[in-house]
Amino acid sequence: MQANTIEVMAGRFRNSDGRKARPYTKGRQVDRLTKAEIKALIGESPRRDLLIEYLHLIQDRHGHLSSKNLAALADEMCLAQSEVYEVATFYAHFDVVHEGENPPPPMTIRVCDSISCELANAEKLVHDLEQASLKDVRILRAPCMGRCATAPVAEVGHNHVDHATLKKITEAVAGKHIHPAIPDYIGFDDYCGSGGYRLWKNCLKGRYSPERILDDLDTSRLKGLGGAGFPTGRKWRIVGGYEAPRLMAVNIDEGEPGTFKDRYYLESDPHRFIEGMLIAAWVVGIEKSYVYIRDEYPAIIALLKEEIAKVQSAGLADHLEIEIRRGAGAYICGEESAMIESIEGKRGLPRNRPPYVAEVGLFGRPTLENNVETLHWVRDIIEKGPKWFSESGANGCSGLRSYSVSGRVKEPGVKLASAGITIRELIEGHCGGMLDGHKFKSYLPGGASGGILPASIDNVPLDFGTLHEYGCFIGSAAIVVFSDQDNMKDVALNLMRFFRDESCGQCTPCRSGTEKAARLMAKPEWDMELLEDLSTVMTDASICGLGQAAGNPINCVFKYFPEDL
Amino acid sequence: MGNTIRFTLDGKTIESSDGETIWQAADRVNIPIPHLCYLPQPDYRTDGNCRACVVEIEGEGALAASCLRKPAEGMVVRSDSERARKSQSLVMELLMADQPSREKAHERESRLWEWAETLDTTSSRFPARDSIDRDLSHPAMHVALDACIQCNLCVRACREVQVNDVIGMAHRGHHAKIVFDFDDPMGASTCVACGECVF
């Protein structure tokens, strides 16, 4: 580094007392041209919280992040080089290239290797792609892309290929089809034409009071549909009770393997969510909302930018500043406090609690964090009446659930059904039954985190809290169905590798525990004592839900599928 | 002293005033709780990442980091329950799995080894991580990340205590790595060798 500088400057520096000073400046220097380029790219007065957005700008322009550009960015933002570097290397969608290293090929193919895609032979697809020796292309494995009903899935550039085959992918590569396909959705005019934003306008006219909306939410028993199931009305009241200014963070970082309901709603009816967000902000007294969207959903980023702009032009969002933020490939940012860190432009490290984000959230302010589907239901609950929602449940449960179903069923997809239906009712009544030649063996009730249940436990209502006694939980209602052709030891290893790859690395139990567990679980024989100890320490001592749930696959295999070991 | 509360720690009733953490209160009454990423020195922010200091709080699901958690009136805390001790020891055993053996340890009298002895966990049943090369690029200091426990004390020393802004924690998960600038050799980085991170 800086060899030229050293030669040119050598011997020319002397301190006043005649001692030799270091003949060069320490560390990596910034060249002026690059700094001017970076300045032109990110604009005047850079904001610390936009670091990840700036990294995207550079990565999008150059296809990677060179040391030269990163150093210039750090300098322009008055940040330590290490601070920029640690953020750039945390997120999977950034490619940092050091001096003397080759940048990645111009085109990237990501193949999903999470559980639903693995069931659909993603492994063979990766192998075939590697054998095909495509020119100027690199092939990467990637975690769940939220398209599990059309597994296996690959992404060519930002173009997702459903039911991916070698042929489909090579055609996309040859045709340079690298941009996301924008789905056919209900746009602003159509949404308004069918009564959309009427409720919101009525709120502004004073026909509804914030208290009335809160009461309806309480009566509806709507709960946080991101997975935690916290009563929505109560959350809104809590945040509203803290001193202003208050902020909002909308969680569209749908990364739990097997979950794709949020994508489904945003790609079909995005304004229903926007109207819910406007109402939430008004009721709670929020002045700015950050909409955090995972980078795996480029079509949604594009369409929400367009549709939110329309809402703003129509004068419907005058009380609320809205900022869209783009994730960069990190499952952990779906954890609410990690998302807040990421919105602040940092690594997505979950925070220790207390304090809770409702009190001390974004930029230290009280923050309302809601999942997108939770907000999606607000309009219907107020318009149809809260009992319409609360009385939609089954088997003693309350409300509706959007089950994301994938795996060995005939008709996978998002199934809107009663909260509390059983897995049998879901498979037989909503998914056309099992695939031919497959016998129902087991299921994930809540993605990678929610544990694994055997087919024998098929009469338990699927809802928040009901699966606790079986060591499982429903979370985001990502149901992955397995058959007699699937080995649960292999399934558990896939899930553990996902946790290992997506652990933020902050706390010992999760960082080290998932790594050790994945090593031990790849062995032909499982060491029960060691794996149970790992599960215990991850569950009891991890900072956040990722580590606390990472032991679930281990426990469930020992408990329910000893014959698979 | 205003806002005095009473809580129970390992069966003892302790009076604590506003702002003190469970660990600090325990230290004051001579109840030792393991701690690695927490350095009770001025200017060192508590971070709660190593989880060696976890304690069991009655009525709560997961264990809590005592270095961060503040006691509340009537709280019942155990640092010596079977569950708390098990996690404290397992955290230590996980870290020990990735350490050079005691004979080859770079600093045998370090706090890590002291606590390992106290917890009777100087070896590990878990498989070790892949080996890590040493950085010998600096004339005065060597960087031996094979002994790193990712506690980020050196990041806090460099960034927050001395405000030299050289050291960072890069990458994520089990790849998380202490770096100088852009993962440069220490000797070629902007490090001014202040020595705070060695402390």
pLDDT tens string A182-212: 999 999 999 999 999 999 999 999 999 999 9
Per-residue b or e along A255-290, where b marks 16 or more CB atoms closer than 10 Å to that residue's CB: bbbbbbbbbbbbbebbbbbbbbbbbbbbbbbbebbb
DSSP-based three-state secondary structure for A242: coil
Residues of B in contact with A83 (CB under 8 A): 159, 165, 168
pLDDT at A253: 98
> Is it the case that residue B184 has pLDDT exceeding 70?
yes
Q: Are A55 and A87 in contact (CB under 8 A)?
A: yes
Mean pLDDT to the nearest integer, A303-312: 98
Q: Does any CB of chain B come closer than 8 Å to the CB of residue A209?
A: no
Evaluate whether ipTM surpasses 0.85: yes
Q: Of A495, A95, A347, A115, nearest to B173 (Cα)?
A: A347
How far does B58 lie from chain A, in Å, by closest CA? 13
pLDDT at B6: 96
CB proximity under 8 Å: B 21-40 to A: none
pLDDT at B131: 85
Q: Of A363, A370, A331, nearest to A348 (Cα)?
A: A331
Whether the link from the prior residue into A355 is cis, omega within 30° of 0, is yes
Q: Would you call B51 and A509 a contact, using CB atoms and an 8 Å cutoff?
A: yes
Model confidence band, residue A17 (pLDDT cutoffs 50, 70, 90): low
Mean pLDDT to the nearest integer, A15-44: 84
CA distances from A351 to A241, A514, B65, B93 (A): 22, 19, 12, 24
Model confidence band, residue A2 (pLDDT cutoffs 50, 70, 90): very low
Query: Cβ–Cβ contacts within 10 Å for residue A380, how many?
Result: 17
CB proximity under 8 Å: A 103-162 to B: none
pLDDT at A20: 62
Query: Cβ–Cβ contacts within 10 Å for residue B70, how many?
Result: 17
pLDDT tens string B108-125: 889 999 999 999 999 999
CB proximity under 8 Å: B 68-97 to A: 68, 83, 86-87, 90-91, 94-95, 97
pLDDT at A548: 98
Residues of A in contact with B54 (CB under 8 A): 540-541
Q: What is the largest CA-CA distance in chain A?
A: 88
Q: Are A451 and A555 in contact (CB under 8 A)?
A: yes
Q: Does any CB of chain A come closer than 8 Å to the CB of residue B129?
A: yes
Q: Of A479, A414, A375, A426, nearest to A263 (Cα)?
A: A414
> Is it the case that residue A446 has pLDDT exceeding 70?
yes
Distance CA A247, CA A232 (A): 16
Mean pLDDT to the nearest integer, A45-52: 97
pLDDT tens string A491-514: 999 999 999 999 999 999 999 999
With 0.90 as the threshold, say if the pTM is over it.
yes
Q: Does any CB of chain B come closer than 8 Å to the CB of residue A100?
A: no
Per-residue b or e along A78-101, where b marks 16 or more CB atoms closer than 10 Å to that residue's CB: ebbbbbbbbbbbbbbbbbbbeeee
pLDDT tens string A392-427: 999 999 999 999 999 999 999 999 999 999 999 999
Q: Are A435 and A406 in contact (CB under 8 A)?
A: no
Mean pLDDT to the nearest integer, A87-92: 98
How far does A508 lie from chain B, in Å, by closest CA? 5
How far does B171 lie from chain A, in Å, by closest CA? 5
Q: Would you call A541 and B54 a contact, using CB atoms and an 8 Å cutoff?
A: yes
Backbone φ and ψ for B14, nearest 5 degrees, come out as: -125, 135
Mean pLDDT to the nearest integer, A342-363: 98
Q: Of A244, A263, A259, nearest to A180 (Cα)?
A: A263
Model confidence band, residue A469 (pLDDT cutoffs 50, 70, 90): very high
Q: What share of chain A in percent tops pLDDT 90?
A: 95
pLDDT tens string A61-71: 999 999 999 99
How far does B109 lie from chain A, in Å, by closest CA? 22
Q: Taking all residues of chain B, what is their mean pLDDT, rounded to a whole number?
A: 95
Mean pLDDT to the nearest integer, B76-80: 98
Q: What share of chain A in percent tops pLDDT 70?
A: 96
Model confidence band, residue A26 (pLDDT cutoffs 50, 70, 90): confident
Q: Does any CB of chain A come closer than 8 Å to the CB of residue B66?
A: no
Mean pLDDT to the nearest integer, A168-194: 97
CB proximity under 8 Å: A 364-383 to B: none
Q: Higher confidence at residue A12 or residue A373?
A: A373
Q: Does any CB of chain B come closer than 8 Å to the CB of residue A81?
A: yes
> Is it the case that residue A380 has pLDDT exceeding 80?
yes
pLDDT at A1: 43
Mean pLDDT to the nearest integer, A459-479: 97
pLDDT tens string A326-349: 999 999 999 999 999 999 999 999
pLDDT at A200: 98
Mean pLDDT to the nearest integer, B156-175: 98
Mean pLDDT to the nearest integer, A514-525: 98
Model confidence band, residue A245 (pLDDT cutoffs 50, 70, 90): very high
How far does A379 lie from chain B, in Å, by closest CA? 35
Q: Would you call A542 and B191 a contact, using CB atoms and an 8 Å cutoff?
A: no
Q: Are A326 and A56 in contact (CB under 8 A)?
A: yes
Per-residue b or e along A480-491, where b marks 16 or more CB atoms closer than 10 Å to that residue's CB: bbbbeebbbbeb
Measured between CA atoms, the residue of chain B closest to residue A355 is B69
DSSP B99: S
pLDDT at A8: 36
pLDDT at B108: 87
pLDDT tens string B27-43: 999 999 999 999 999 99
Residues of A in contact with B125 (CB under 8 A): 530
Query: Cβ–Cβ contacts within 10 Å for residue A379, how many?
Result: 21
How far does B28 lie from chain A, in Å, by closest CA? 23
Distance CA B23, CA B41 (A): 13
